[in-house]
């Protein structure tokens, strides 16, 4: 008489799927490629896929920086003030030193264009603030830290690598000037995330940075701000 077939332990298939998604075998690499390709279909699909990956891979939310702030309002206020001040510093001091054109031609169509504002605001908050920070800071930091480790030098390497990838993403639309600005902002937001382990403040600061940029363009103040220090 044959022995009865051994029943599969409940949830074992899900356990294997989760382990595969967390690892760097074929399934894990496929997941990375799908997530990174998401924005080529529709932004911020990559960030949404990151959240799906976290759930399916059973990765703790805090490993991608989704940590509840102690005081939401305080962190949000600091993020907003920092983002606005950072944008003004970049526009008035840093980018002129790089010889950047005062006019951001890729987005100059927003000047006085009230009809385009809702789409621009959505893009700055959802696609940039939420989407880019979730992917380039939260997700990429988690994946690379699993490969490189979590010490000071690995974190430094991760900040540099993710900032470079973040900068290159901006080349097709904004050219070399966009790459230069995105590299600096990526280094700043990446360092902020590396020190705090929380993605909330970089998200708010990033959104505030980009919304300030839209404000400057909309009111046609780019040249005035860019020449505020260097006439």
Residues 85-135 pLDDT 10s: 999 999 999 999 999 999 999 999 999 999 999 999 999 999 999 999 999
- Residue linked to tokens 């998200």: 203
Report the chain's mean pLDDT, rounded to a whole number: 93
pLDDT at 166 over 50: yes
pLDDT tens figures, 181-198: 999 999 999 999 999 999
| DSSP for residue 110 | G
Residue 48 · residue 38 · CB < 8 Å: yes
pLDDT at residue number 10:
52
Domain ranges of the chain: 9-59, 62-226
Strands of 109-148 (E only): list them. none
Secondary structure (H, E, C), 136-193: HHHHHHHHHHHHHCCCHHHHHHHHHHHHHHHHHHCHHHHHHHHHHHHHHHHHHHHHHH
Supply 109's token pair.
């169509």
Give the whole-angstrom CA distance, residue 28 versus residue 93: 43
| pLDDT recorded at residue 12 | 83
Q: What is the pLDDT, as a whole number, of residue 194?
A: 95
Structure confidence at residue 2 as a pLDDT band (50, 70, 90) = very low
Query: Residue 75: pLDDT band by 50, 70, 90 thresholds?
Result: very high
How far, in whole angstroms, is CA 76 from its chain's centroid? 17
> By the 8 A CB rule, do 105 and 176 touch?
no
| Cβ-contact 101, 95 below 8 angstroms | no
Provide the 10 A C-beta neighbour count for residue 150: 11
pLDDT per position as a tens digit, 12-59: 888 999 999 999 999 999 999 999 999 999 999 999 999 999 999 999
d(CA 102, CA 123): 22
For residues 213-218, average pLDDT: 97
The predicted pLDDT at position 151 comes to: 87
């Amino acid at each position: 008489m044959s022995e009865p077939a051994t029943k599969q332990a409940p949830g074992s298939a899900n356990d294997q799927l989760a382990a595969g998604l967390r690892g760097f075998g074929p399934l894990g690499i496929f997941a990375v490629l799908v997530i990174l390709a998401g924005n080529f279909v529709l932004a911020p699909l990559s960030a949404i896929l990151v959240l799906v990956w976290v759930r399916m891979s059973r990765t703790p939310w805090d490993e991608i920086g989704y940590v509840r702030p102690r005081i939401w309002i305080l962190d949000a206020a600091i993020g907003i003030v920092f983002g606005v001040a950072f944008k003004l510093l970049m526009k008035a001091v840093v980018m002129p030193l790089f010889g950047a054109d005062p006019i951001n031609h890729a987005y100059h169509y927003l000047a006085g264009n009230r009809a385009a504002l809702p789409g621009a605001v959505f893009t700055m908050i959802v696609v940039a603030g939420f989407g880019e920070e979730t992917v380039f800071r939260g997700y990429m930091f988690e994946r690379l830290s699993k490969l490189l480790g979590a010490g000071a030098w690995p974190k430094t390497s991760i900040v540099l690598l993710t900032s470079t990838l973040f900068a290159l993403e901006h080349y097709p639309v904004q050219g070399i000037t966009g790459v230069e600005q995105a590299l600096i902002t990526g280094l700043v937001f990446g360092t902020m995330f590396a020190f705090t382990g929380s993605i909330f403040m970089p998200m708010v600061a990033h959104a505030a940075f980009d919304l300030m940029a839209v404000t400057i363009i909309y009111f046609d103040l780019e040249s005035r701000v860019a020449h505020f220090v260097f006439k």
